A and B are shown apart, each in its own frame.
Chain A
Amino acid sequence: MIRGDPAPDGPKRVGMIMSAQDNDVANERSSGNLVLPGDRIGRTGSIRAGNGVMKGERYLIATQMGLLIRSERSVHVIPMKGRYRPGKGDFLIGIVKDHTPSRWFFDINTPQGARLHSSDTPWSVDFGRTGEYMNVGDVAYLKVMEVDDMGRADLTMKGPGLRKLRSGQVMGIRPSQVPRLIGRNGSLIAAVKRRTGCRIFIGKNGWIWVDGEDAGIEMVRRVLDAVDERPHMGGVSEHILGILGEEERG
């Protein structure tokens, strides 16, 4: 059902999804593996419902437009579009929006926003001095510690690699495309870093911090645009390696 695509990128997308030999996953109306909200993608109880899948009374129902991925134990939908929803343990790029005497409020590409308490930073921040460490507009690489019922995230800056990011710039792609940018075991992003000579931090929220020479940044921008435009296509890795090779020759 899927065109032969052994692309070594992203999560496993093998041509098994809509085989529909059994009754469990039988939805002959879905073309390829793109599903739409309301599509029945299996029977309730037959398989675990993952992201983008809702348990109905009798059927599992897709709740988002995206690619249906079925692993051995669960079925989930990788959305084509949609806003980032924070998850515990996610690493992301945040931009300071506001600060109070003991906290910073970050924009992390979610409608609800996120907060960072001064005790969750590597610094010992005196009460009322948060602005001296980070101020509005500053960028940081953070981790989601907890997400409350309302979708607000509590962040932390304590951990390996977490830090305030100086200079550089932030770019964005669709959050659902982040795994494809990283590539299998980080192979793709490693190649991008190597060829462009840029320092890159990838946030799971779809924001990417880049710093380096102008030419390198320009190349990174082209790579990000290429990834962002291809949520539905195979061979993203090859395409990007092509862009990088081209730049090298040119």
Chain B
Amino acid sequence: MAAKGANQGRTDGRSDDEIRPIRLHAGVLNNAHGSAYIEWGKNKIMVGVYGPRKPARQEGLRPDRALVRCTYNMAPFSVSDRKRPGRDRRSLEISKVLSEALTNAVLVERFPRTVIDVNVEVLEADAGTRCAALTAASVALADAGLQMRDLVSACAVGVVDGRVVLDPSRDEDNFGDGDMPIGILPSSGEIVLLQMDGALGPDQFGSALDLGVEACRRIHALQRDALLMRYCQDGVSRIEKPPFSGYGGTDTIIMDDEEVPPIWREEVME
């Protein structure tokens, strides 16, 4: 990293404000109430939502609201070294911040004394999983028909060699100076996730936040498309095919309707 000049491109050739390619699909699991699958660069994440439902154990239930319980889990094969299965400090932390971010989006007061389980399975990890997970989780929640204030869009911003870059890759994450995941409610602009790992100066923080929020809005467009696609079938739908909002001009974001998961394809066929 250090060998690269300040004006040179990034490790994977992206520009500083470029997101890795994203593919997002809603409703990919039949048995979950709502689900989503996201490929964000080399990340592959599946999210299933169950609820609102009565939990097996009543403890911790709130009489005035639902509990959003997010469980973030990395598959043993999700990283190049085998990950020891089960919970660890990192997955507990991410589960907590995701639960809190999603609680702000879901109208939890509509479902007192219930839980909403959000299961996040990371199949392949390559930096930025918590943002990808949050993005997919909110799509899965909307797919489950839950009442929500808004979707949640998330993206990380990093600092590499003193430069603020969007959506750091694994190398940039590992060898950079710091990174900051940001999650927002796009309609209101409220921030529901903001963490910082490493040191960002005040100026860097400001520009990183601006860059991240702008990226979240781009991601929001993809989330909308993924959800709308679920109910848009040519010729038979009441709803017209959505005009893809996929921010033309850049190649960073693709919505490829040729390559879709088999479940989705079945629906189209039908």
Contact = CB atoms under 8 A, between A and B. Distances in A.
Interface residues on B, range: 35 or more
B88 to A, nearest CB: 31
Interface stretch (A30-38, A118-126, A163-171, A187-195): A30-38
A23 to B, nearest CB: 17
Contacts of A149: 112
A128 interface: no
Contacts of B145: 64-66, 79-83
Interface stretch (A1-9, A133-141, A196-204, A216-224): A1-9
A31 B227 contact: no
B186 A29 contact: no
Interface residues of A, number: 41
A179 interface: no
Given A36-B228, A83-B145, A111 B240 contact: no
Interface in B227-261: 227-228, 231-233, 236-243, 245
B33 interface: yes
Contacts of B63: 150
A38 B147 CA distance: 10
Which secondary structure dominates where chain A touches chain B? loop
Interface string B33-57: 1100000000000000001111000
Interface of B: 33-34, 51-54, 63, 105, 107, 110-114, 142-151, 185-188, 224, 227-228, 231-233, 236-243, 245, 270
Contact of A151 (B34, B51, B111): B111
A54 B113 CA distance: 22
Nearest to A38: B150
Interface in A101-135: 111-113
B186 A32 contact: no
Contacts of A111: 51-54, 111, 113-114
Interface string A58-73: 0001011111000000
A234 B238 contact: yes
B183 to A, nearest CB: 14
Given A64-B148, A82-B146, A33 B228 contact: no
B147 A29 contact: no
Contacts of A67: 238-239
Given A34-B231, A111-B54, A231-B231, A63 B149 contact: yes
A76 interface: no
B239 A38 contact: no
A232 interface: yes
A40 interface: yes
A125 to B, nearest CB: 27
Nearest to A148: B112
Contacts of B242: 31
Given A32-B237, A111-B114, 9 more contacts: A2-B239, A36-B142, A37-B105, A54-B149, A63-B147, A63-B149, A82-B146, A83-B145, A233-B233
Given A29-B224, A36-B227, A64 B53 contact: no
A191 to B, nearest CB: 22
Contact of B149 (A38, A52, A65, A229): A38
Contacts of A63: 107, 147-149
Contacts of A48: none
Contacts of B144: 81-82
B231 A37 contact: no
Given A31-B240, A65-B142, A37 B224 contact: no
A87 to B, nearest CB: 13
B58 to A, nearest CB: 12
A103 to B, nearest CB: 18
A37 B147 contact: yes
Most interface-central of B63, B143, B145 (chain A CB within 10 A): B145
B113 A38 contact: no
21 contacts: A1-B240, A2-B238, A3-B237, A29-B245, A31-B228, A32-B238, A33-B239, A36-B142, A37-B142, A38-B151, A64-B146, A64-B148, A81-B143, A81-B145, A82-B145, A82-B146, A83-B145, A111-B51, A111-B53, A151-B113, A234-B236
B153 to A, nearest CB: 10
A13 interface: yes
